[in-house]
Amino acid sequence: MQKPISAQKPNISSGIILLLAAACGLIVANLYYSQTLVGPISSDLGLPSGAAGLIVTLTQLGYVAGLLFIVPLSDKLENRRLVVSFLSVVVLALIGAAFSTGSAMFLTASLLIGASSVVAQILVPLAAFLSTEEQRGRVVGNVMSGLLLGIMLARPIASMITDIWGWQTIFMISAILMALLAIVLSRVLPERHPDQTLSYGGLVASLLKLFRQTPILRRRSFYQACLFGAFSLFWTTVPLRLADEYGMSQQGIALFAFVGVAGAIAAPIAGRLADKNWTKPLTMGAIIVATLSFLLIALIHGKSNFSLALLFIAAITLDMAVSGNLVVGQRAIYSLGNETRGRLNGLFMAIFFIGGAVGSFLGGLSYAHGGWVLSAWLGVLFPFLAFLYFITELKTK
């Protein structure tokens, strides 16, 4: 039985950092397994092409709902018990997805998978809480590396397993992993009892007040919402393009998705540089890289090998931009205070996941009605909006 965290903060061990990174990666991967499986899932469940984007969108909207209504509980209830409880819900939702016989059942399961997977966003602030101010950027960067690896590995792994055993298998495997993870975390995580006297209703109601009173939160959320919208649009439409225009199988799409994993290297680097007050240059770089990533593949969109190579490059650079900017944004938000950290993180993640849900939905819709070219130009628009807003930050001290 682990002892509760005392008033004097202990040093966070490398083992706990590694465990939190692995846990976050495994949990958040649940949001992305279906992203490269939109084609086979919609085909099996009878979803029309224009509605196929709902497979990803509803998962992300469920995640947003969880961020707004579940994550605030981390500022009130003991964190370890909260994590284990919602991991149990994840297990049930994943089993429901695996055994879905129709689109309604699968989409409902997707919504629940998204909502309950927010336990990852209880673990990340816990890592920040356990670390000192001087090491917070490094610790958050390392934990986020695990989370981002989960995001990026989820797509190729899901495609490879689907190619061999069918799309249902990945959901069953994940259900088993979540059950095992719940057991490990219940035994290893220290307790954390937040010093918060607000009722649950008061915590949720305080979200709007925090949003109004925290300009850093508003700004960082908008930047990440724009970049994540482009990210989600890319990974919703690219598998469709690879299958339609290049005739790739799920195994080929999986190999393509593995390329994006290289983008995770940006997270720990960004965390360390953020500790050295490089926040503005890192933000500007991420926005410009994301804009150029989509601009190139929007301008050069033939079926040539050169166009395919550009897609590979864009997969890496876009993922680097999104992961790097995410760590910089989270470090800024985690520096605002301990007792509101769960809610601030929940708001931050909710806002940028709304951007992701919009990107997924518009990606599926635009690809169905205007093809890749329309989708790519929409992808350019997302980070360009972030750039316009960033210009206003350059005018401030």
Q: pLDDT of the chain along its 397 residues, tens only? A: 444 444 455 567 778 888 999 999 999 999 989 877 888 888 888 877 667 778 888 898 899 899 888 988 888 888 899 999 999 999 999 999 999 988 889 999 999 999 999 999 899 878 877 777 667 667 877 887 788 788 878 888 998 899 889 999 999 999 999 999 999 999 988 888 887 677 888 888 888 888 898 898 999 999 999 999 999 899 889 988 998 889 888 788 888 888 777 776 776 777 778 777 788 889 999 999 999 999 999 998 888 889 999 999 999 899 889 888 888 888 888 777 666 777 887 888 888 888 988 998 899 889 988 899 999 999 999 999 999 999 988 766 5
Cα–Cα distances in angstroms (integers) from residue 269 to residues 71, 137, 152, 253, 278, in the given order? 27, 10, 17, 28, 11
9 in a domain, yes or no? no
User: Quick check: 240 and 39 in contact, CB under 8 A?
Assistant: yes
6 in a domain, yes or no? no
8 in a domain, yes or no? no
Tokens for 327? 């760590």
355 in a domain, yes or no? yes
Query: CB within 8 A of 239, min separation 6: which ones?
Result: 35, 36, 38, 39, 159, 253, 257
User: Quick one: three-class SS letters along 102-152?
Assistant: CHHHHHHHHHHHHHHHHHHHHHHHHHHHHCCCCCHHHHHHHHHHHHHHHHH
Which residue matches tokens 């996941």? 353
Q: Cβ atoms within 10 A of the Cβ of 138, count?
A: 17
Q: Cβ atoms within 10 A of the Cβ of 17, count?
A: 20
Number of domains observed in the structure of the chain: 1
238 in a domain, yes or no? yes
Query: CB within 8 A of 319, min separation 6: which ones?
Result: 148, 152, 231, 260, 261, 262, 263, 264, 266
1 in a domain, yes or no? no
What separation, in Å, do the N-terminal and C-terminal C-alpha atoms of the chain show?
A: 49
d(C-alpha 348, C-alpha 219), whole Å: 10
pLDDT at 1 (0 to 100): 46
121 in a domain, yes or no? yes
d(C-alpha 74, C-alpha 160), whole Å: 36
We report the CATH number of the domain holding residue 133 as 1.20.1250.20
**Secondary-structure percent of the chain, ordered helix, strand, coil, rounded to 5:** 80, 0, 15
What residues make up the domain containing 170? 14-394
7 in a domain, yes or no? no
pTM beyond 0.85: the answer is no
